[in-house]
Chain A
Amino acid sequence: MDAQELLHRESFIELGARSRARQLLDAGSFRELIDPFERMVSPWLARQGIVTQADDGVVVAKGTIDGQPAVVLAIEGRFQGGSMGEVSAAKIAGALELAAEDNRNRVPTRAVIVFETGGVRLQEANLGLAAIAEIHAAIVDLRRYQPVIGIAAGTVGCYGGMSIAAGLCSYLIVTRETRIGLNGPAVIEQEAGVAEFDSRDKPFIWGLTGGEQRHRTGLADVFVEDDVTQIRSEVLNCFRKGRPAACRSERVSGFLHRLAAFNPGEQATSEEVAGIYSKGFEA
């Protein structure tokens, strides 16, 4: 990106969830469902003395993308770390379920999920986990009709059960700033010790799990700059490509084949993972 481009760039990461959703949909087509004025807040946070938010941290926006009916599910990383509680996760699962139902009724609704999340909201633990399973189910269902596109852009990253959701998407778009991992760095350090994973070592964490590395290792499809126009145009590209021959999560023998090349007794560097995984996962 040269100086001129930098000046004209509009950051996607700096936008809140609602603006991100608005930018991804065709101009003028944004319509929010269960908007903040409905005050559909978490029934669990208040009774633990935690401030609620009127949209529970998820924006459900209907509209069109490339002229086709679309729904964008955007997670707000600035509320409770983008964590999935009963209401926020149900908004995503329920919208994806309706999109799949549309397709069965010959309405080709497509979906984009903007991940910015630490995973389950621990204050609602089992309800978050259950709802994430429903998000997984709905992605696998909808993906049979239309591509489901995931975007991981911001610095909260995409963790826990929602990293699995990202792994189920037909296409995954990432920036340099984001991270995708199953277990948060602090949790790995707690469970396995600081020698295994130092949660304060940011270059180490981004080197292994950052967006650039995930793209280099074939665990993400598209690498983008933090730029609204570029991200939107890549979303359009992915939809125009249509459903991939096989999604990443379906490439079972390909991944088992590549895993066999690692020595599990040693820690792998990001270079080693890239060397093995960049050969691809075709069976």
Chain B
Amino acid sequence: MNANDISARGANWLAALTQGASLLSGFPPSVRVAHAKLGQHAARYIAVVPDPANPYPRARSGEVGLVEAWEVARAVREVVDADQKGDEKRAIVAVIDVASQAYGRLEEACGIHQALAGAADAYATARLEGHPVIGLIVGRAMSGAFLAHGYQANRLVALSGPQVMVHAMGKESAARVTLRTVAELEALTANVAPMAYDIDSYASLGLLWKLLKVARPDAPTRADLQAVEQTLIAAYEDIRHQTSRSLAGRLSAGGRPASVRVREKLREQWT
């Protein structure tokens, strides 16, 4: 799949996981928010989806634009604020299929970097406040869009398959910026795991908590849905059983030895 193709995966998985629960009103069509149980626990599910009628022309294909990012921030912070004095901090599930951040003049002029910071801040704050935050990657998790919507989660879960990818930049732009042709880039990325676009290479870096194979990732079967639900519940329990609210779990899987070594050296030399 090309990064710019319209995808219904985010919407389909959000609807399936929330059993078709009605969407919360007050959010734009590109930001879907719904409540459902995660096992025995209340949870809020959030997805950014394509909206061909989006008033912002650069954010019609599932990109995270100015409004999407600030609205995601609002959807997350509503939960944090509402549960501030509650006994149980609700879970937040980011259903992730985001083509990219919105590329546009108006976006840059109005500080889309600040909008994405708003969303990343909201998720990070939710995690630090004790909300179990789970990122479920069902399609593309690209670049700034992923940083804003999902990368701050306590645990990342991804479906396997060729249409699931995580990357810092689309292939055409990455080729231009690194002064290569797309063919050269593809040949090179096949041998360098962090540059590859496929989810199996990404999984080898140790950043995923679970990689899950389902039969029909575009429109989940009953068994697919059950498998994903069981994994989300397991992720929830795993988060609850750990005292740490940091992202340190992503370092322990062994896929990033230099990242670990840098931290060890910093600690040795810190005081």
Contacts and interface: CB of A to CB of B under 8 A. Distances in A.
Interface string A165-202: 11110000000000011111011101110001100000
B44 interface: no
B147 interface: yes
Interface string B152-194: 1000000000000011111011101110000000001000111
Contact of A168 (B106, B117, B146, B151): B117
A123 B270 contact: no
B103 A188 contact: yes
Contacts of B169: 120, 122, 125, 187
A267 B247 contact: no
B67 interface: yes
Given A94-B263, A167-B117, A191-B170, A127 B147 contact: no
Interface string A230-260: 0000000000000000011111110110010
Contact of A219 (B111, B188, B202): B111
Interface in B47-76: 55-58, 66-67, 70-71, 73-74
A163 B101 CA distance: 13
Contact of B247 (A86, A134, A190): A134
Given A122-B178, A267-B105, A60 B266 contact: yes
A259 B270 CA distance: 43
A90 interface: yes
Contact of B152 (A133, A190, A214): A133
A160 B112 CA distance: 10
Nearest to A140: B124
Interface SS of B by simple majority:
helix
A197 B173 contact: no
Contact of B144 (A137, A164, A264): A164
The CB with the most chain B CB atoms within 10 A, among A48, A182, A248, A259, is that of A182
Interface stretch (B5-13, B231-239, B254-262): B254-262
B262 A125 contact: no
Interface residues of B, number: 78
A44 B194 contact: yes
Interface stretch (A1-9, A22-30, A33-41): A33-41
A209 interface: yes
Nearest to A163: B113
B195 A124 contact: yes
Given A62-B270, A191-B103, A249-B114, A91 B195 contact: no
A131 interface: yes
B18 interface: no
Q: Closest 9 A-B residue pairs measured CB to CB?
A: A167-B117, A163-B113, A90-B262, A133-B151, A249-B121, A140-B124, A191-B103, A249-B117, A182-B113
Interface of B: 55-58, 66-67, 70-71, 73-74, 77, 100-101, 103-118, 120-122, 124-125, 127-128, 143-144, 146-148, 151-152, 166-170, 172-174, 176-178, 188, 192-196, 201-202, 205, 207, 246-247, 250, 256, 258-259, 261-263, 265-267, 269-270
Interface of A: 33-34, 38, 40, 42-44, 47-48, 60, 62, 86-87, 90-91, 94-95, 97-98, 119-120, 122-134, 136-137, 140-141, 144, 160-161, 163-168, 180-184, 186-188, 190-192, 196-197, 208-209, 214, 217, 219, 247-253, 255-256, 259, 262, 264-268, 270, 273, 277
